[in-house]
Structure 1
Amino acid sequence: MYTTAICPYCVAAKNFLKSKGQAWTEVRIDLDPAEREKMIGKARRTSVPQIFVGDTHVGGYDDMIALHRAGKLEPLLAGASA
């Protein structure tokens, strides 16, 4: 998950994933401009958070919640931890 320190959606995404018992790797793009460029290259977006489950780009917080509501996030998370 690509994040910055002052991003409320990043905090919400981490809290949601924590409530699901998930672990993640956080990449702070505000601390490393090279990581920001890498994120833009992978996600084709400049906003944070940008959430990946394995190699699958989920999108931002709203995208993740929409996937959850559609019943598609949990199978994706289960596949990533398998």
Structure 2
Amino acid sequence: MHKVTVYTAGNCCYCHMAKDLLRRKGAAFEEIDLTGRSDLRADLRARAGGRHTVPQIWIGSVHVGGCDDLFDLERSGKLDALLAQTTSAS
């Protein structure tokens, strides 16, 4: 099964908004808190093609991007399908 991964930091309101949307969708996710972790920030930059802002979200192997990108997927009706792929894949 693919997983949802969300890189976050401290009191980031965009991180909270993204996690709240995922929870409302019933999506379980792994949260990686970057607060005070320069080693994990370096990992994020490498994995996200240089992006370093949070949140950064992956659904399975798909890099969704940040909070705005996640909400754009929701508005376009594509988020549910992407999340459904994570639960139907094995």
Measured against the shorter chain, the TM-score band is over 0.9
Determine if the alignment matches structure 1 residue 16 to structure 2 residue 21: yes
Please name the residue that 1:29 is paired with: 34
Choose from 51, 55, 64 the match for 1:49: 55
For 1:23-74, what per-residue CA distance to the aligned partner results, in whole angstroms no more than 9, with x for missing partners?
1000011142221111111112110000000111000010001011111111
User: Structure 1 segments of 4 or more deviating over 3 A?
Assistant: none
Determine if the alignment matches structure 1 residue 66 to structure 2 residue 56: no
Identify the range of structure 1 (22-31 vs 57-66) with the bigger mean alpha-carbon deviation.
22-31
After superposition, the CA RMSD in angstroms is 1.0
Runs of 5+ consecutive residues of structure 1 not aligned to the other structure: none
Aligned positions, number = 82
Q: Which TM-score applies when normalising by structure 1?
A: 0.93
Shift of 1:9: 0.3
Identify which of structures 1 and 2 has the higher relative contact order when contacts are C-alpha pairs closer than 8 Å and 6+ apart: 2
CA distance in 2, matches of 1:54, 1:35: 19
Q: Which has the higher strand share?
A: 2
Specify the SS of the correspondent of 1:52: strand
CA distance in 1, matches of 2:52, 2:16: 17
Q: Which TM-score applies when normalising by structure 2?
A: 0.85
